[in-house]
Structure 1
């Protein structure tokens, strides 16, 4: 079966040959693929032997090939804006496409391989995409100069039109595309002075919004193939369990079930449709071997972590003499223990993939791939084919929050194992249900923090001692920076500071969750500093500012958010406000939350003010959207969310009824201020998350007198 047998519900094609420009050049052609409406899945049609970030079609359309997946965070729009700026294109002619899987040509410069994560999409591509746009512009100008026999220096480009004033000639990019493809790209194209930017820094609608609004956007679920089977795997309810035996006789009696196979991850059901696959899977009888399974409950793990905090620790930061400061004369000590549960990512679209073997034995995979090079390698290894025979077609994805960013591609290995076990004679759509996803592990780990602080007679914080116990996401035996980030680099000037960690091992697979270590360190640091300031008689904003004198960008966002919220002004009856400031992924965010007691007895958040400093604001519209989204996502988690292991280690949650997201009527009003900056752009997908939890918790403590020691807040009120 070939690629021509793949269908989507709707598609449109861009006509013509084109010009492909890249910064990293190689002699190879890009694989063809289906195009989405307005957002091609790849370059289509004849492609010059210039590997590309920029494609100029003969119809005048400019397509940027994004090495970063688009799952709602805006790289298609941001990267297109950068290219359009240097290209002097008209925004209306800009499109975006997923680049092919190629860990060398399309590597994330922060990772060294192709991948999206760590809020790096714009940050690592900033100079690269500027150069790509400027290179394309120079080649279009060179083509026009040769065609018109005029000096290139006399040619101007504006809003997608190439002009020569002296001769009155003018043309579009499309008319020059084929000739431009023959021009020698400049080695060091001139880049614009930022003062001349006309697109960067201006609000632009996201390129993928129209298709997502009218339903024509293509996700993996929309991809169909002739003669395709639906496959699902039955997984254990305990992490680390394996299949001891199974009986598939009842499952095979379900109408539409085609086959049942054992795979390393469980028992796979193959069916003609989704309903049959679900019904067949439910009819399986499986005996699981729990000998190597995680058998502790969440509460037992918390208790084990408490014991580990008093044991051998890994040092992260050690300044001054903490022990002496904690026991000094005239000091006031404050201690806190904070408990953080497992968290699932719960993206709207669970994991899925379509795998098809072509007549020549090659394999096409359609999926929302966050690490396409790794997914490609996983398919090749599992299915026993040469990696050159595997093509990844990255689709739009319905969220991730870290879920799709699995080194080693365990999900794709499962999908490939299911495909291989089937004989690969028919296309397979491998699907996880919501229950599979919620119970599938790769959670933000459990953490327990122990904090001790000391205040002198003048109310100054003189000591800070913090111990963090939790899994190493990177599975390191030495200190994992993701365990202590946001704490080990504490920005506050405290003379005696110590941060240590104990890294644990569990059968529960761990993964980065939106903002990674900052999910828990930001909460711990900002709630504890708030309590210490209050105990010392300091204002929450002024006290922080006094401790941030060496950190002007922290200071900048904190002052701006205080102005935005009119900090210190009267608060409506029955409400209180809390503040938090945190740097993550080199972006600085401060938030103030206004909170009352809700109908469920927990916090009701009415409004959040947010100030963000992310360097050059490529597209303020996307930045505001990501701050709003991060606040909503983080707020739902700190209020409601936890994955718990019950007696014997059984996973308790399964869907949004018991692992619920923030509901639309619970979303607070959000006001965002973006700090003007000339610093290089940094990430915005994750940094809005860490401050919201502590801002709400600090407001809650002022409102009720009860500090938050355990998350989620609503669940912790009765724990």
Structure 2
């Protein structure tokens, strides 16, 4: 599909100027690679919906499915307004195009827990507009008032005359009608689908192994490859034992870039054995001196600098309030580099010819990936065809696309389609890491034990500055870091927050299932818990007092404490911890029970979560996201840290980068609050909740405070 000259304002501005006659690619049957050609030019009232003369409705999905369930949630939104059975809707991944730009992400991207928030009005209006046009076409054919018609399951009915017609039968006529400037949406009282649990629409394809992930790509004539790049960022390739590699049976080609080697084989095994025999040697370059101690030293130096950083929030005179308080209390928190370690390792299949480039990949940023491929190959954007696949775990890793660029650079060197799959070691070693941070925070307490002021300094990288530098850094502040730091539900009388930017040497830092939210919540909720202990007050009561102006936050806190039996004493060696949050437009309260055994091992027994995420689109999927997010977050909080030695990552596989095991999974209870507010995000909220709730539970069990992640690592800070 070529570049469409349509502005985002035209597309999103109330859908009053819907894109007409959009040229869409051939329809794909749900979750398979089968091409199904449309019989005639379909009715395409906008960039999201297509209806052919047989009545087959195709939903062009701009968000990428990576396990979060957006294919189901978004389909429910569309089917609600278009009066369809969601099981009958065909899904198609949107091609790279400006028509599908997400205004919150600033590009065509899936991430940041923005999908449902972004689609809540947009998709419903797109579907409602299509329905109005279809009904008008039927009413005109019958010579009746459109208001006398109703729709049900893809059929338009005129009850007074007993006539009925399917959407497909009037699709051509609907396509000739003027698009209405605005349409009414169904009131919540009329919802049939929204708010009711629905099974995942992509589950059958996954169960029957017809779902196509990036790693499943198969192309005629394709050859298999694996790569090794210099394990130290900025290093270069010095030598490859090409003779030994070519002596391996099945090795076809050996390709080079200045910093990487690619061994191509007739099978993946041949490529892997050929790469092992190639034994690449590296010049580590200028980052060979980088180690973890240097990273933390720079962060702590930034925390100690006397000058102001970039001031992000200044409410009252917080420094004076803290200094003049009845009691002062301060703490420093340290968080490590983290890898994504997705179950599906990085992979990309590319075929470059003189006038075309085809890419098969799972990516969260298809437009950026396509444009990079065009730049590398010298082709026009409409000569690059990106086939976006299911993603086996994104977590922000596939908001990066350097692996697509690498694959295109190698594929340019050969005439055949090239499928590259990184090894797990390559995937972790050359990840784009969640940054390490140091937070320095202080508060003043009144004689009654209430907070009178808070000062807070964040030290670390600005992910936004690299990923989205075009205007998302007002005054040099990474706005993402305000999550759970400045944007808190607590009512502090005076507060001050500044940011000292320190970019991590030797690695690239990136998004990781929330950066600001996961970092900030661990700091803020751990500190609030410490303040409650200093004030001699119950952690729930202390929070409730400071949440007095936020009814939704108090609501989830009260619900969680009730369901978790907060006041029930815990046995010796066990503890119960709480965390409250407002992140991604959603409120959560999380309470965890832990047991610390005599040998120091920790068992997470139970997690109780109360969720107010606004209007519930698919309640079952909200529960699943909380459960999965907590599992991801618990494993990271307990075990995970990326360390560097001579510029090299020391954790290269799951033997040293632990994931939570099945026998370690706690019982999880999720309690949902009915709300009339617009939907908030949910994909990263459970992950953010894990570390602070766990740290506070461990503190209750052991009597010591946990200010460094991972919680089961050493607790001394690297000052």
Shared fold by TM > 0.5? yes
Residue 82 of structure 2 contacts residue 130 of structure 2 at CA under 8 Å; is this kept in 1?
yes
Tell me which residue corresponds to 2:5: none
Alignment check: 8 A CA contact 1:22 1:53 kept: no
What is the alpha-carbon distance in structure 1 between the residues aligned to residue 331 and residue 711 of structure 2? 16
Which deviates more from structure 2 when the two are superposed, residues 430-439 or residues 24-33? 24-33
Aligned partner of 1:79 in structure 2 is 74
Look up the match of 2:662: 664
Cα distance in 1 between the residues matched to 2:211 and 2:323:
62
Matched, 1:396 2:390: yes
Task: Give the Å deviation of 1:264.
Answer: 4.2
Match of 2:61 among 62, 66, 69: 66
Rounded to whole Å, the distance in 1 between the matches of 2:597 and 2:514 is: 27
Q: CA deviation at 1:414?
A: 0.8
CA distance 1:225–1:592, shift in 2 (3 Å): same
Contact 2:29–2:90 (Cα < 8 Å) also in 1: no
Once the two structures are overlaid, the 10-residue window that deviates more, 163-172 or 617-626, is 163-172
Aligned to 1:470: 460
Contact 1:588 1:613 in 2 (8 A): yes
In the other structure, the counterpart of 1:235 is 229
What does 1:443-454 correspond to in 2, within 5 Å?
443-454=433-444
Q: How does 1:484-495 map to 2 (within 5 A)?
A: 484-495=482-493
- Report what 1:297 is aligned to: 291
Say if 1:43 and 1:97, in contact at 8 Å, map to a contact too: no
Segment of structure 1 superposing worse, 387-396 or 36-45: 36-45
Q: 1:708 to 1:398 in 2, by over 3 A?
A: same
Matches within 5 A, 1:308-347: 308-311=302-305, 312=307, 313-328=309-324, 330-331=326-327, 333-347=328-342
Query: 1:389 deviation in Å?
Result: 0.5
Please give the residue correspondences for 1:7-406 in structure 2 after superposition, counting only pairs within 5 Å: 24-32=18-26, 34-37=28-31, 46-48=40-42, 50=44, 51-103=46-98, 105-293=99-287, 295-311=289-305, 312=307, 313-328=309-324, 330-331=326-327, 333-357=328-352, 361-406=355-400
Aligned 1:441-590 pairs, distance under 5 A: 441-475=431-465, 478-505=476-503, 506-571=505-570, 574-590=573-589
Q: Partner residue of 2:685? A: 687
Flag the 1:22–1:218 CA change in 2: closer, same or farther, 3 A: farther
| Structure 1, unaligned runs of 5 or more | 1-20
Change (3 A) 1:289 1:645: same
Task: Provide, for residues 483-537 of structure 1, a one-character-per-residue CA deviation record: whole Å limited to 9, x for no partner.
Answer: 3432123332233322222211223100011122111110010001101011101
- Tell me how large the CA RMSD over aligned residues is: 2.4
How far does the alpha carbon of each residue in 1:174-218 deviate from its partner, in whole angstroms, 9 at most, with x for none? 444444334433232221112211111110111111111222211
Q: Note if contact 1:42-1:98 (Cα within 8 Å) is conserved in structure 2.
A: no
Bigger mean CA deviation after superposition, 363-372 or 566-575: 566-575
Residue 318 of structure 1 deviates from its aligned partner by 2.7
Residue 247 of structure 1: how far off its partner (Å): 3.6
Moved more, 161-170 or 289-298: 289-298
State the Cα deviation string for residues 234-289 of structure 1 (Å, max 9, x = none). Answer: 11222222223444221122222112122144112222211111111112233322
CA distance in 2, matches of 1:41, 1:440: 35
Residue in 2 that maps onto 1:431: 421
- The aligned residue for residue 648 of structure 2 is 650
Q: For residue 455 of structure 2, give the secondary structure of its aligned residue in structure 1.
A: strand
Q: 1:551: Cα distance to partner?
A: 2.2
* TM superposition shift of 1:481: 1.9
Paired residues, number = 691
In the alignment, the residues of structure 2 paired with residue 457 and residue 507 of structure 1 have an alpha-carbon distance, to the nearest angstrom, of 47
TM-score relative to the length of structure 1 = 0.91
Partner of 1:18: none
Point out the more displaced range, 32-41 or 485-494: 32-41
- Residue aligning to 2:4: none
Whole-Å Cα distance in 2 between the matches of residues 188 and 599 of structure 1? 66
Q: What CA distance in whole angstroms lies between the structure 2 residues aligned with 1:38 and 1:276?
A: 28
